Amino acid sequence: MRSQPPHQHDSMKSRKGLGSVSHPDVHKFSVETVQWYPRDTGMFTSSSFDKTLKIWDTNTLQPADIFYFEGTVYSHHMSPVATQHCLIAVGTKSPKVQLCDLKSGSSSHILQGHRQEVLAVSWSPRHEYVLATGSADGRVKLWDVRRASGCLSTLDQHNGEKSKASSEAANTAHNGRVNGLCYTSDGLHLLTIGTDDRMRLWNSSTGENTLVNYGKVCNESWKGLKFAISCGCNPEFAFVPYGSTIAVYTIFTGELITVLRGHYSTVNCCVFQPHFQELYSGSKDSNILAWIPAPREPVLDDISEKSLPQQHLNPAYEDAWSSSDDEG
């Protein structure tokens, strides 16, 4: 893979915003998560350290509803596939996972099981009632929100084998705070990140740790880490913010392919756009950068390659990424 050289950052294409929200209803502190309503673009959501989750009307840029919480909001997520519910999962400073219902306006439904603050939440893209949560207690829990007990399983990094660590560390996914998690696009696997500088890949059906070794994945974030997983690439990648750069790993082999450089300050988040096969990253430098796979030059001196049938996936997505200024 190829990263965009830092010195070319000045010529990177800018993406102008269509508008901004600037009135008394804006958040008072850091905005941690923003998400479009999965069904249409007439509504989007945002949550913040000001202890609120806001539902925005895109046309008026006014809040249609506001949910208030007792503590800092670290993360929220709406299911991309739900047809039977309109629940927003919310992770806050409380160990209880909050479920906000867009239909009724209620936030009374809670999931109890974590012992410390909930830093990351993610609905399964495969099962609309299944939710994954990561906490500062080192645990990752899978929930079926229809069940009275709620919790389906607690992921164990040792796969049930007796740990050499203390009994307190039993049934933990990480030996530190779990501040990032993301499903693969097919929902078959779950990727988690902890402050133990480890990233782990889990079979989401069995809860088994697949034991893929990514090496040391530096993670010094005290809040949620917003990383991304590709969709439609060959192989699939994980894009993990690391200081002012983005580390790119192959998900199923654990190889660190490259490090994308272009930002001047800490990268806060990454989002992958499968329709355009683009990666977007946001940073404290106030820039949003768009990264695209750079096409590989055809091999002209090998006649046999010309006769090969075209692959379903563009080979450019296999191992070449650069910033969007390469397009023009």
69, 117 Cβ separation under 8 angstroms: no
Identify which has the larger pLDDT, 187 or 1.
187
Over the chain, what is the mean pLDDT? 82
Which tokens go with 241? 């913010």
Three-state secondary structure of the chain? CCCCCHHHHHHCCCCCCCCCCCCCCCCCCCEEEEEECCCCCCEEEEEECCCEEEEEECCCCEEEEEEECCCCEEEEEECCCCCCCCEEEEEECCCCEEEEECCCCCCCEEECCCCCCEEEEEECCCCCCEEEEEECCCCEEEEECCCCCCEEEECCCCCCCCCCCCHHHCCCCCCCCEEEEEECCCCCEEEEEECCCEEEEEECCCCCECCCCCCCCCCCCCCCCECEECCCCCCCEEEEEECCEEEEEECCCCCEEEEEECCCCCEEEEEEECCCCEEEEEECCCCEEEEECCCCCCCCCCHHHHCCCCCCCCCHHHHCCEEHHHCC
| 5-58: pLDDT as tens digits | 323 233 334 454 445 555 677 777 777 778 778 888 888 888 787 888 888 788
Q: What is the pTM of this model?
A: 0.81
**Which of 64-73, 158-167, 319-328 is the most confident on average?**
64-73
Least confident span in 142-151, 260-269, 302-311: 302-311
pLDDT band at 172 (very low <50, low <70, confident <90, very high): very high
Give the span between the Cα atoms of 248 and 254, in whole angstroms. Answer: 10
Task: State yes or no: pLDDT of 165 exceeds 80.
Answer: no
Phi, psi of 168 (to 5 degrees): -65, -30
Task: State yes or no: pLDDT of 321 exceeds 70.
Answer: no
Give the span between the Cα atoms of 151 and 135, in whole angstroms. Answer: 14
Give the span between the Cα atoms of 274 and 242, in whole angstroms. Answer: 22
- pLDDT (average), residues 321-326: 57
pLDDT band at 301 (very low <50, low <70, confident <90, very high): low
pLDDT, residue 136, reads 94
pLDDT, residue 4, reads 36
| 241-259: pLDDT as tens digits | 999 999 999 999 999 999 9
- pLDDT (average), residues 280-304: 78
With vertex at residue 231, the alpha carbon angle to CA 4 and CA 224, rounded to the nearest 5 degrees, is 75
| 89-136: pLDDT as tens digits | 999 999 999 999 988 888 778 999 999 999 999 999 999 999 999 999
pLDDT, residue 59, reads 86
Walk me through the domains of the chain, giving residue ranges and CATH numbers.
Answer: 26-176+183-202 (2.130.10.10)
Q: 118: buried, middle or exposed (CB in 10 Å: 19+, 13-18, 0-12)?
A: buried
CB neighbour burial string for 136-171, b if at least 16 within 10 angstroms, e if fewer: bbbbbbbbbbeeeebbeebbbbeeeeeeeeeeeeeb
Give the span between the Cα atoms of 119 and 252, in whole angstroms. Answer: 25
With vertex at residue 234, the alpha carbon angle to CA 231 and CA 238, rounded to the nearest 5 degrees, is 55
| 208-231: pLDDT as tens digits | 999 999 999 988 777 888 999 999
